[in-house]
Chains A and B, each alone.
Chain A
Amino acid sequence: MSGFLPFWPEQASAYAASVDRLVLAFSALIIVLSAPVFLLIIAFAIKYRRGKPADRSHPMNRNVWVETSWAVIPFLLILIFYVWSTQLYFGLHRPPADALEIEVVAKQWMWKFQHAGGQGEINELHVPTGTNIKLNMISQDVIHSLYLPVLRIKQDVLPGRYTTLWFNADKPGTYRMTCAEFCGTDHSVMGGSIVVQEPDGFSLWLETSATDSTLAAQGAALFRRFGCSGCHEPHSSVRAPSLAGIYGQPVALNNGTAVIADAQYIRDSILLPNAQVAAGYAPIMPTFANVATESDLIALTAYIQSLATDNSRSAPIPTNIAPEGTAP
């Protein structure tokens, strides 16, 4: 692999191996489909060279059956591969529920990773082997694209919307990670590495780089600093819906519809508070668009999510608390 002339990239996951199998099989098919063209052109150019005697009697000019068959048969063969590759692609878009989630913020020109325990990394991502990892990604400015060649995956990272990428790496090592979508001046150097470790090594790394507070705790601090607690906590003077247990649950909106309170909804509600107002509350919440960074939003979301896991059984979902109530 690392020889003078590299030819095939390393594989670090079962998924990568399955993509490679698809590539090899499909390459075999296209060689079968194209070899006749190359060989026959050369053969005909030699055999039927102008002025050279050759049997040129009864040449055909058209044959609908021949033409139809060389249009349809390759297409049907290719369809088999279409089904195969589409299945892989759908799998890539359906992350398993039990995945270990890592938050990713991209900005010109760096990658920032946030583990649930509060460990943050820049341009380096530590993950354990044999574990489903799900990256929740968002960009702070332009479109970026997280590309991990050894895992054969990439996904554009959009501003304003979370995209996800999941994988299960199985081979320890340090591999390249790059930005694949052109993102401005230093696009070329917006890279880094992914460090795949055995679970033991990974736990060790988590411990040694542990911070004082988890991501949720950082979010709790922000919740107070931005003044969210002033309205959203139970005994506040202004009526706003309590956020306990809200994460992942449906929220009734005042236009009669309902949404699932996922990360995207929470983010949008902080930045565009009056777009989707919870039913029974007045749209009075100010926007935090110029205050909260993407990292802040991720921490806040983690905090709200932690409220869900803490209280999901005990606290009822508070909707329609009071008619004179206020913003989400």
Chain B
Amino acid sequence: MSRAAASPPLVPPAKQEHDATLFGMGIFLASEFLLFGGLFTILVFYRIVHGHEVVEASKELHLWIGALNTVVLLTSSLAAALAAKSAKDGDQRLTQRLLLAAAALGAVFLVIKAGEYSLEYGDGMLPVPGGGGQLVEPLSRLFMNIYLVATGLHAVHLTIGIGLFVFTAFRIWHRSIRLPQDQLSIVVPTLYWHLVDIVWIFLYPALYLQR
């Protein structure tokens, strides 16, 4: 069935490692996306069963704050994509700066999000202790619960992404990543970042634009 081939080195060749890492990341991202898939299913289900109530509840959300946040996140994604490109070109400084810019934009997103939460809290629309005064109807409370879980889970992912970017930028500064040979160390976190962006792109209409 087999015979010994010319002996390759014990360490797998770089190309193989590159492919394996990217492919593994792709599968991981698919898996992460399905994590949110469960939440999308819940939203679609209630949209079908209680369409009217869901639309009414959705209208209470701050549509334009969400839009602003989408812009922020898209911009950060652009920065992340540029970081990956400049990493391939071997520009350590630029990569580092772009990563930090993307992370900063992510932080801006979180700040805006927090502001939005506090607005909703003030309106009595947030189903947390002391904050849900206006949520008389069970279904609007339910919708806001789903909103809170979905955006909260997204915010957790974004925080992880910010952490990854800051850490990666630190490693560039620390010279433990050298470009362009270690470009995968940049590409992998940016892929994760784009996924978090894509999740938001679906969450935004699913939560804010139910009309």
Q: Do chains A and B touch in the complex (CB under 8 A)?
A: yes
A272 contact set on B, CB distance < 8 A: 137-139
B136 contact set on A, CB distance < 8 A: 274
The total of Cβ contacts below 8 Å across the A-B interface reads 10
Let me know if A255 is at the binding interface, CB within 8 A. Answer: yes
Let me know if B53 is at the binding interface, CB within 8 A. Answer: yes
Within 8 A of A (CB), among B122-147: 136-139
Known A257-B52, A274-B137; further 8 A-B contacts with Cβ < 8 A:
A255-B52, A272-B137, A272-B138, A272-B139, A274-B136, A275-B53, A275-B137, A275-B139
Main SS class of interface, B = helix
Within 8 A of A (CB), among B36-75: 52-53
A274 contact set on B, CB distance < 8 A: 136-137
Main SS class of interface, A = loop
Binary interface encoding of chain B residues 157-179 relative to chain A, with 1 for a CB under 8 A from any of its CBs, else 0: 00000000000000000000000
Q: How many residues of B contact A (CB 8 A)?
A: 6
> A91 CA to B137 CA in the complex, in Å?
37
- A271 closest partner in B (C-beta): B138
Binary interface encoding of chain A residues 269-280 relative to chain B, with 1 for a CB under 8 A from any of its CBs, else 0: 000101100000
Interface size range on A against B:
under 10
> A272 CA to B139 CA in the complex, in Å?
10
A275 contact set on B, CB distance < 8 A: 53, 137, 139
- B56 closest partner in A (C-beta): A255
Binary interface encoding of chain A residues 249-279 relative to chain B, with 1 for a CB under 8 A from any of its CBs, else 0: 0000001010000000000000010110000
- Chain A min CB distance to B209 (Å): 19
> A272 CA to B138 CA in the complex, in Å?
8
A257 contact set on B, CB distance < 8 A: 52
> A272 CA to B52 CA in the complex, in Å?
14
A-B contacts, 10 of them at CB < 8 A, read A255-B52, A257-B52, A272-B137, A272-B138, A272-B139, A274-B136, A274-B137, A275-B53, A275-B137, A275-B139
B139 contact set on A, CB distance < 8 A: 272, 275
> A257 CA to B56 CA in the complex, in Å?
15
B53 contact set on A, CB distance < 8 A: 275
- B136 closest partner in A (C-beta): A274
> A275 CA to B53 CA in the complex, in Å?
8
B52 contact set on A, CB distance < 8 A: 255, 257
The 6 closest A-B pairs by CB, nearest first: A255-B52, A274-B137, A272-B138, A275-B137, A275-B53, A275-B139
